[in-house]
Amino acid sequence: MNMNEPYGSGDASYKAAGEYDGIKKLVDAFYSAMESLEEAKKIRNMHSANLEESRDKLTRFLCGWLGGPKLYSEKYGSIRIPVAHRHLEIGTSERDAWLKCMKTALETQPYEDDFKEYLMKQLYVPAERSRNKD
Ligand code: HEM
């Protein structure tokens, strides 16, 4: 068991995720999973051919969301996750494909197992809030 501050308090999660560099690696692995997993084909195709901006946006968003610096709003302005996905058709299968990419990405990160579990539970919340059909 990890004796540091509990995840979710202050910037404990941001630190557990390896700060900006660690989160960038996680996001790179997330988009690699999205490019290779059969069940993620549909959500991959919702994105632009070039994923550079998506990588930058998700990396910056997760930094702030995990209690670290608000790098997304610094560069791109304010964001509400359900609104940001309103123009996309996201049902349970798209939500689950997104979460599967994240789970696959987490398997290759040097994180504590309890942090991986914590993150998957927490990410379910914005993923479910992005769903707009089914
Ligand atoms: C539920 C399944 C999800 C799907 C299928 C999905 C898909 C997408 C797509 C296709 C884009 C690019 C939109 C565009 O360029 O028009 C996008 C943007 C984005 N997504 Fe998701 N997403 C999902 C969940 C999430 C979650 C859970 C988060 C955060 C934890 C997230 C964070 C973002 C951010 C920060 C952007 C950039 C928004 C912007 O600046 O406009 N997404 N998403």
Question: What is the CATH number for 126?
Answer: 1.10.490.10
Q: Which atom of ligand 1 is nearest to the CA of 46?
A: 10
Task: Give me the chain's average pLDDT, please.
Answer: 96
Give ligand 1 pocket residues (Cβ under 6 A): 43, 46-47, 54, 57-58, 61, 76, 79, 81, 84-85, 88, 90, 94-95, 98, 123, 126-127, 130
Q: Is residue 2 part of a domain?
A: no
* Residue range 55-79, pLDDT digits in tens: 999 999 999 999 999 999 999 999 9
104 part of a folded domain: yes
Residue with structure tokens 């608000």?
70
> Which contacts (CB < 8 Å, 24+ apart) does range 110-115 have?
110/18, 111/16, 111/17, 111/18, 112/2, 112/16, 114/1, 114/2, 114/7, 115/2, 115/7, 115/13, 115/16, 115/17
Q: How many H-runs (helices) and E-runs (strands) does the chain carry?
A: 8, 0
| pLDDT at res. 1 | 44
| Distance of alpha carbon 105 from alpha carbon 1, whole angstroms | 22
Evaluate whether 68 touches 74 at the Cβ level (below 8 Å): no
Tell me the per-residue pLDDT of 77-134, one tens digit each, with 9 for 90 and over. 999 999 999 999 999 999 999 999 999 999 999 999 999 999 999 999 999 999 999 8
Query: pTM of the prediction?
Result: 0.97
- Residue 101: inside a domain: yes
pLDDT at 85: 98
Rounded CA gap, 67 and 74, in Å?
A: 15
Q: Is residue 3 part of a domain?
A: no
Q: Which domain holds residue 85?
A: 18-130
Residue 41 neighbours by CB under 8 Å, 6+ apart: none
Q: Is residue 109 within 8 Å of residue 22, measured between CB atoms?
A: yes
How many domains would you assign to the chain?
1
Q: Is the pLDDT of residue 30 over 50?
A: yes
